[in-house]
Structure 1
Amino acid sequence: MNTQSSELQRTVEALTQSGRGLLAADESGPTIAKRFKSINVESTEETRRAWRTLLLSTPGLGEYVSGVILYEETLGQCADDGEPLPQLAARQGIVPGIKVDKGKIPLAHASGDEITQGLDGLGERLERYKAQGARFAKWRAVYNVSECLPSRLAIAANADALARYAAICQEAGVVPIVEPEVLMDGAHSIERCAQVSEAVFHEVFHALHRHAVVLEHMLLKPSMVVAGKEHPSPASVAEAASQTVTVLGRTVPPAVAGIFFLSGGQSPEEATAHLDAINRTGRRPWPLSFSYGRALQEPPLKIWRGQAANVSEAQRALSKRARLNSAASLGRYDAKEESTS
């Protein structure tokens, strides 16, 4: 195994430890401003730094969280005592990572579909991020769902971009997280979500193969198979778990190092219950864990409200959600624990 492969393998092993998942703290400027607005806090560099310091300094968080996906700004920020935030995460036993895509735009000649941008200059950016402490990266592609969306063009174009990104990452010695998100927005059924997810994941792995991406040195961050938010009859937790495991079994090679689900607009409790059910269902050749943003951050954010006096209580709320999701990643979650501190 060459030096680069050894480096990738070490990072993968650190991220895929049993009972641990990822904290997604990579919200873009507009997204975090929206979250802060919900608690009447202005989004400034200082409030963002304070919030992300709160997250990364939560006592014992590394027991349940193996990695954190950061926004570019956060890589250069420091805690109150001057310690760089990536270093603070690493000291907790949490591997620092970085979101590298530049967001989505409409896909030309494909009305209603979107494509993610950010491949230009990615290799050079990765060198800089790596020097700042990042050991893995993340790229998100989104797929809008309706009776006619996503188009074949959108499925193929996003798969190719994800694969090109993953190949560039591995060449730089950075583990890629590949995130194809089939959006929950809309009134589609769980059956339609399963149909789209299967087509999307198939195409992604065909593209990864074409670009010679080493599956053992990458992670997948998929959406779960659930009905659209506006569908009149949401599927049960058990049905969502069954459909999710079936689709993954048909599309994801066993060589993939790990699968870390996004929460995709689910409530914190729903995301935990779904992850637990998935880990109690069917044949699963990969570790199945969490890579949650809002589903981990929402409870502590509501407590914090920008006040330094609320930091400890907010950190306890984050620790609780991380602990419950850790149990769910092992199929050991007990919903009764939601009501305990």
Structure 2
Amino acid sequence: MNIRELKSVANAIVARQKGVLAADESSPTIKKRFDSIKIESTEENRRRYREILFTTEGIERYIGGIILFDETLRQRTRDGTLFAKLLSSRGIAPGIKVDKGAKALALYPGDKVAEGLDGLRERLAEYKQLGAKFAKWRAVIEINEHDIPSAFGIRANAHALARYAALCQEIDLVPIVEPEVLMDGTHDIDRCEVVTSRVLEAVFAELDAHRVVFDGMLLKPNMVIPGMKCPQQAGVQQVAEATLRCLRRYVPAAVPGIVFLSGGQSAEDATDHLNAMNAMGPQPWQVSFSYGRALQAPVLAAWKGQESNVAAAQKALLKRCQLNGLARDGKYARAMEAGE
């Protein structure tokens, strides 16, 4: 394990004003996104859409890493350059999603666990050869007001995340560890904080047991936020305070950065929450973003599958990247959404 290399890549991804673009949608997910703009999810359309994202001028100022799907890591630009090579040449670290999706945890109704550990060592070696500098594994934590997730469900996901992270570091890939407590449901912000706390406590205990070097990884957690169907929604400052309180209790200061998932929040809400946390002053780790929908939704809406709209789509992406870059410094304001 080359600890110096791992630390260098992890720190570069969350350098000042920078974060991660999550462009690792699975085939069913990207089909849903394309359905929303009424274009067919063919391999060429997927390739072209990702090419539009990756060739947007100026995003390297705000994007330190991009997470790719297996298909995307193997694809090329129109002029034949591998996407991973293109990104690296722009100073953006290419990454790869390696879990194979969440499935029901046997005998634990309501709990899920991500699959994909079998053969992972060999897959990681191939991905590294294809140019990946980091990887990502998402654990999906279902939540209700009472008994889900179970203690064992949390433990099973924490164990899988730690095994994945250790395999990544063994081959000098930075692991992004993503335990996502879902925003679905009617639970309130207090319930989310309790569950997120239990999850983070279990995850870092397992990472430590597996000898994962905290300096050479990144954490991609949910924000502490009420369920979307909760009648009592929380204000921006309340979310920021609850999230940081939770993270400061359980995330070691050695971790270089926390790259939040947006988890179904609107683009504006995700940026607002990130900004509020950074406005509260320096934290032990970089407080950053790893957004999918919250960066891409405006791009898809502008593109609509039309070549004539590429410039508008790229402008929309650059704007969201710039706004999140400002939020990294606590200098974003909602009024900026209206500006050009």
Q: TM-score, normalised by structure 2?
A: 0.98
Paired residue for 1:42? 40
Shift of 1:16: 2.0
Paired residue for 2:264? 265
Q: Is the 8 A contact 1:242 1:282 kept in 2?
A: no
- Pair 1:32 & 2:39 matched: no
Give the fraction of aligned pairs with identical amino acids, expressed as a percent.
Answer: 53
Distance in structure 1 (CA, Å) of the matches to 2:281 and 2:311 = 39
| Residue identity matched to 2:256 | A
Name the SS for the 1:213 alignment partner: coil
Distance in structure 2 (CA, Å) of the matches to 1:176 and 1:6 = 14
Paired residue for 1:154? 153
Name the SS for the 2:179 alignment partner: strand
Query: Which aligned pairs between 1:231-250 and structure 2 lie closer than 5 A?
Result: 231-250=230-249
Query: Which aligned pairs between 1:206-217 and structure 2 lie closer than 5 A?
Result: 206-217=205-216
Name the SS for the 2:67 alignment partner: strand
Query: Which aligned pairs between 1:114-133 and structure 2 lie closer than 5 A?
Result: 114-133=112-131
Paired residue for 1:191? 190
Name the SS for the 1:279 alignment partner: helix
Greater displacement, 87-96 / 56-65: 87-96
1:95 to 93, 96, 115: 93
- Pair 1:10 & 2:34 matched: no
Paired residue for 1:85? 83
List per-residue Cα deviations over 1:28-66 (Å, max 9, x = no partner).
Answer: 000000000000011010000000000000001101100
Shift of 1:10: 2.3
Q: Is the 8 A contact 2:94 2:134 kept in 1?
A: yes
Distance in structure 1 (CA, Å) of the matches to 2:312 and 2:13 = 27
Name the SS for the 1:40 alignment partner: coil
Name the SS for the 2:153 alignment partner: helix
| Residue identity matched to 2:265 | Q
Q: Is the 8 A contact 1:61 1:92 kept in 2?
A: no
Q: TM-score, normalised by structure 1?
A: 0.98
Distance in structure 2 (CA, Å) of the matches to 1:281 and 1:142 = 29
Shift of 1:101: 0.5
| Residue identity matched to 1:103 | G
Distance in structure 2 (CA, Å) of the matches to 1:114 and 1:214 = 26
Distance in structure 2 (CA, Å) of the matches to 1:333 and 1:184 = 24
List per-residue Cα deviations over 1:293-314 (Å, max 9, x = no partner).
Answer: 0000000101101111111110
List per-residue Cα deviations over 1:228-253 (Å, max 9, x = no partner).
Answer: 00001200000000000000011101
Distance in structure 1 (CA, Å) of the matches to 2:308 and 2:105 = 46
Shift of 1:151: 0.3
Paired residue for 2:68? 70
Q: Is the 8 A contact 1:99 1:137 kept in 2?
A: yes
Paired residue for 2:201? 202
| Residue identity matched to 1:53 | E
Q: Which runs of 4+ in 1 moved over 2 A?
A: none
Greater displacement, 309-318 / 5-14: 5-14
Name the SS for the 1:142 alignment partner: strand
| Residue identity matched to 2:177 | V
Paired residue for 1:165? 164
- Pair 1:20 & 2:2 matched: no
Name the SS for the 2:64 alignment partner: strand
Q: Is the 8 A contact 2:279 2:330 kept in 1?
A: yes
Distance in structure 2 (CA, Å) of the matches to 1:272 and 1:295 = 8
Structure 2 unaligned blocks of 5 or more? none
Query: Which aligned pairs between 1:298-337 and structure 2 lie closer than 5 A?
Result: 298-337=297-336
Q: Is the 8 A contact 1:279 1:328 kept in 2?
A: yes
Structure 1 unaligned blocks of 5 or more? none
Distance in structure 2 (CA, Å) of the matches to 1:331 and 1:307 = 35
Paired residue for 1:56? 54
Paired residue for 1:280? 279
| Residue identity matched to 1:214 | V
Shift of 1:7: 2.1
Shift of 1:283: 6.2
- Pair 1:219 & 2:218 matched: yes
Shift of 1:5: 1.9
Name the SS for the 2:137 alignment partner: strand
Paired residue for 1:289? 288
| Residue identity matched to 2:180 | E
Distance in structure 2 (CA, Å) of the matches to 1:194 and 1:282 = 21
**RMSD, aligned α-carbons:** 0.9
Shift of 1:282: 6.2
